[in-house]
Amino acid sequence: MSVPGGILMSSQCHGSCAGTYKYAGNLSGGNDVSAPFTYVAGDGIDNTGTDYINLGNNTTWTASPQVKNANSDYFQDPKQGIGQPPMNSGQASKPYIPVLGGTLTTAICNGPCGSGNYYATDTNGNATGLPITLSSGVTFNGGSFGDFVFFGGINSNGSTVNFGPGRYFLAGTLPGNNPVVFNNSNTTLVGGNGSDAGRILVLTDAYYHGDSTMAAVVAGIPNKQWQAPGQSGSLPVMQFGEADFKSGNNGASITLYGLNPDNGNVPDELSKFTPVVVWQDQHNSYVRYDSTGTPMVGKGCGGSSATGGCPNTPPSANSPKLTLWAGSQDTWGGAVYQPRGAWAELHGGASGTGSIMLVTGAIEFGGGAGLVVGSPVGPLTTLTATLVH
């Protein structure tokens, strides 16, 4: 794995962490990692950066990791303190689109699928909470910038689906390890070329943690067979689920461009979230975030040090997991964001190159002979006040 842009790892594990993964980085099976720099978070212990990396037989990591202050800007969440992407405040007044049997076709939309709130139904019109399957040829088009909400998750198999500019809220799945996004390796996802306003896919649940807009949208769905915010009882809860964005070597691909900071059609309230293309809800994490979108740390909440994260319990063990393919046939035109207590499983094709910027808590790498993580099409940046002499 080659990362020409460099690697930052906020982990403080250097052989002494509990559990299976005792190190910030672990290599085995002849794997190699190369980057111009790898910075790891120091915990006050005087040691070398190589203590943070466990190298198995016939593995290398170059250049050798360097220890930096754990409280430095290197290891801060680059999107902390700005909250989460807001919904359209008028989303509840947009059309409600029942999807009979959970299969969305161009016939149901009578052409392109416009802005609205989508949910699967049975033959009696009950909102089942089951996933919505996207048939080939489906295009989401809400004009210069659309607003879409999907309940139950979305999936596709062998389809070609076009996501027009807009914000897409994947608002939870039924319990039972159901993914909020799943597409098989023979699916083609298309979304822009970098010139439109872009799109952001928000991976969340049916609560969106107190967002009154989401509560109003849920209230507008008739005959729900799952719990709405504020309800209690025996009905299932629409909760977080893991997400799987897959592509293969059979001509299928993923091309998704995130929010474009240079396009005037991006709503003002989303300007702080450019150029994100995928945003995972900060509450779907093993680290607790406060209402401002800042990770909570400190000894007072269970952390072992001043920089240890406060523990949080997601609804299922794997719900914070995001699977991404970053081979040569894919383009991620923007940043993929996960909170600090989540992780990504990154796959690459044989000697593939992926243009992607990934902010996550941990990475599992596999599925190919080699991967070069190229420069992102739209890099994520943060602005700071700096004195220049």
HEC readout, 108-158: HHCCCECCEEEEEECCCCCECCCCEEECCCCEECCCCCEEEEECCCEEECC
Range of weakest confidence among 34-43, 194-203, 222-231, 294-303: 294-303
More confident residue, 192 or 332: 192
- CA 258 and chain centroid, separation: 12
pLDDT tens, residue by residue, 230-273: 777 888 989 999 999 887 656 678 899 999 999 999 999 999 99
Considering the domain boundaries, does residue 271 fall inside one?
Answer: yes
Same domain, yes or no, for 256 and 333? yes
Is 274 within 8 Å of 196 (Cβ atoms)? Answer: no
Q: Which residues of 307-333 are buried (b: 16+ CB within 10 A; e: fewer)?
A: bbbbebebbbeebbbbbbbbbbbbbbb
Quick one: average pLDDT of 205-234? 89
Q: Region 202-222: what's the mean pLDDT? A: 93
Q: Are residues 70 and 143 in the same domain?
A: no
Residue 26 carries which side chain, given as an amino acid letter? N
Residues contacting 297, CB < 8 A, separation 6+: 303, 306, 307, 308, 309, 310
Residue 384: inside a domain: no
DSSP state, residue 179: -
Is residue 81 assigned to a domain?
A: no
Average pLDDT over residues 15-33: 77
DSSP 299: G
More confident residue, 72 or 314: 314
Whether residue 22 is found in the same domain as residue 132: no
**Rounded-to-integer distance, Cα 322 and Cα 203, Å:** 10
Place of tokens 């997400």: 243
pLDDT at 47: 57
Q: What is the mean pLDDT of residues 294-322?
A: 79
The model's confidence at residue 14, banded by pLDDT at 50, 70 and 90, is: confident
Please determine, for residue 58, whether its predicted confidence score (pLDDT) is greater than 90: no
Residues 94-125 pLDDT 10s: 999 999 999 999 999 999 999 999 999 999 99
pLDDT of residue 355: 62
Same domain, yes or no, for 122 and 263?
A: yes
Q: Are 39 and 69 in contact (CB under 8 A)?
A: no
Residue 26 lies in a domain: yes
Indicate the average pLDDT of the chain: 85
Among 15-29, 69-83, 87-101, the range with the most confident prediction by mean pLDDT is: 87-101
Question: Do 153 and 290 share a structural domain?
Answer: yes
What total of structural domains would you count in the chain? 2
Residue 56 — pLDDT band, cuts 50, 70, 90?
confident
- From first CA to last CA, the distance across the chain in angstroms is 38
Between 334 and 113, where is the model more confident?
Answer: 113
Question: What is the pLDDT, as a whole number, of residue 309?
Answer: 74
Do 119 and 37 share a structural domain? no
Shared domain check, 114 and 146: yes
Residue 374 binned pLDDT confidence (cut-offs 50, 70, 90):
low
For residues 13-42, average pLDDT: 81
Question: Is position 82 within any domain?
Answer: no
In a domain, 323, yes or no: yes
- Percent of the chain residues topping a pLDDT of 90: 47
pLDDT at 300 over 80: no
Q: Which domain holds residue 218?
A: 91-374
pTM of the complete model beyond 0.75: yes
Same domain, 163 and 295: yes
* Helix%, strand%, coil% for the chain, nearest 5: 10, 35, 60
What's the rounded Cα separation, in Å, for the pair 380 and 360? Answer: 13
Residues 55 and 193 placed together within one structural domain of the fold: no
pLDDT band, residue 128 (cuts 50/70/90): very high
Q: Is residue 165 located within the same domain as residue 310?
A: yes
| Residue 34 belongs to a domain | yes
pLDDT band at 350 (very low <50, low <70, confident <90, very high): very low
Mean pLDDT (whole number) for 155-160? 88
pLDDT in tens, 176-203: 878 999 987 788 999 999 999 999 999 9
Q: Using the predicted structure, report yes or no on whether residue 378 has a pLDDT greater than 60.
A: no
* Residue 386 confidence (pLDDT) above 60: no
Label residue 206 by pLDDT band (50, 70, 90).
very high
Q: How many alpha carbons lie under 13 Å from residue 207 in its C-beta half-sphere?
A: 16
